[in-house]
Amino acid sequence: MSVTPWPLPHRRLVESRPVPSTSSSSGNDSLEALLTREFDCRWPEHKAGLDAVHRYALLPSGKLLRPHLLARSALAVGGSLTAVLPAAVGFEATHTGSLLHDDIIDRDALRRGRPSVHAVFGQEMAIVAGNALFFTWFATLAECAGYGIPPGRIVRALEIQAAAGQQICRGAALELFLVGDLGASLETYLPPTMPHAARTSPSAPARGNASETPSGSPKPPSSSAPSPPDGT
C-alpha cells in the first residue's frame, strides 16, 4: 500500500511557485517569502489543535537560516528548489521543535519577543508539539522523492540528520548534568555542546555529494568532572 507523505494539494501549490534568483538580495527576499508562504499553506490559520500550536511556533518565522542554507546549497550545485523545498520546510520545523523543548528546559517565558509556546499552550502540549515537529522532518524529506530526489540521497540525509540530532541531545544532556558544577573544565563543556549550540548543518538532498558530518568526535568528559549517567 502506498503512503502519501503529505496531502497532494500542498504539492500542487509548491509546483506552481516561482524559483527565486540566486544572485541578488531580492532573491533572498523571494526565498523567504516562498518559505513563509509554504509554512502558511501547511499550517493554515483556520486550523485548530496541534496544527494551531505549530502555526504559533513557526509563524511569524525567525531568520530561517537553516532552510535558506539548505535551499541555496541545492541551487548552488544545480539542484531544483522545488525538489528540496519540502526538506527546507521540514528542517526549520525540526529546529523549531528543539526550541519548544529548550524553552521548557530553560524556563524561558518569551521566544522572539512574545510568549513561548509552553507559556501559551502549557508544557504538556509544547512537548507533544515539539515531538511532532521532529517527525515533520522525516515526512517532508520523504516527500522529496516525489520530485525526483534519488532514494539513496534521502537515506544519506537521514543518516546525517540522525547523527546530528543525537549529538544535540548528548550536548543538552551534558549541560543538564553539569548544572551547578562550577569546577567543570572548558574542555569538558565545549566539545559535546558545540553541536547543541550550532544546531545542525543543512544536509540538502541536492545534486552532488551529500554533506558530511562534522569532522572529529566529541571528546569524553575529563576525569575532573563526573561521567554522565548511562543513557544520555
Q: Give tens-digit pLDDT for 97-154.
A: 999 999 999 999 999 889 999 999 999 999 999 999 999 999 999 999 999 999 999 9
Extract the C-alpha cell encoding 18. Answer: 516561482
CB atoms within 10 A of CB 166: 11
Beta bridge partners of 114: 111
Q: How far is Cα 74 from Cα 130, in angstroms, rounded to an integer?
A: 27
pLDDT digits (tens, 9 = 90+) for 165-220: 998 898 889 889 888 888 888 887 776 555 554 444 444 444 433 333 333 334 44
pLDDT digits (tens, 9 = 90+) for 20-51: 444 444 456 688 888 889 999 999 998 899 99
pTM: 0.70
Write the burial class of residue 39 (CB in 10 Å: 0-12 exposed, 13-18 middle, 19+ buried).
buried
pLDDT at position 175: 87
Is the CB of residue 55 less than 8 Å from the CB of residue 21?
no
Residue 135: alpha-carbon gap to chain centroid: 10
- The helix-helix angle for 50-58 and 81-106 (nearest 10°) equals 90
CA distances from 152 to 159, 208, 226 (A): 11, 12, 41
**Which amino acid would we find at residue 188?**
T
pLDDT of 89 strictly over 90: yes
pLDDT of 157 strictly over 70: yes
End-to-end CA distance of the chain: 37
pLDDT digits (tens, 9 = 90+) for 222-231: 434 444 444 4
Q: How far is Cα 58 from Cα 42, in angstroms, rounded to an integer?
A: 11
pLDDT at position 75: 93
Annotate 31-87 with three-state secondary structure.
Answer: HHHHHHHHHHHHCCCCCCCHHHHHHHHHCCCCCCHHHHHHHHHHHHCCCCHHHHHHH
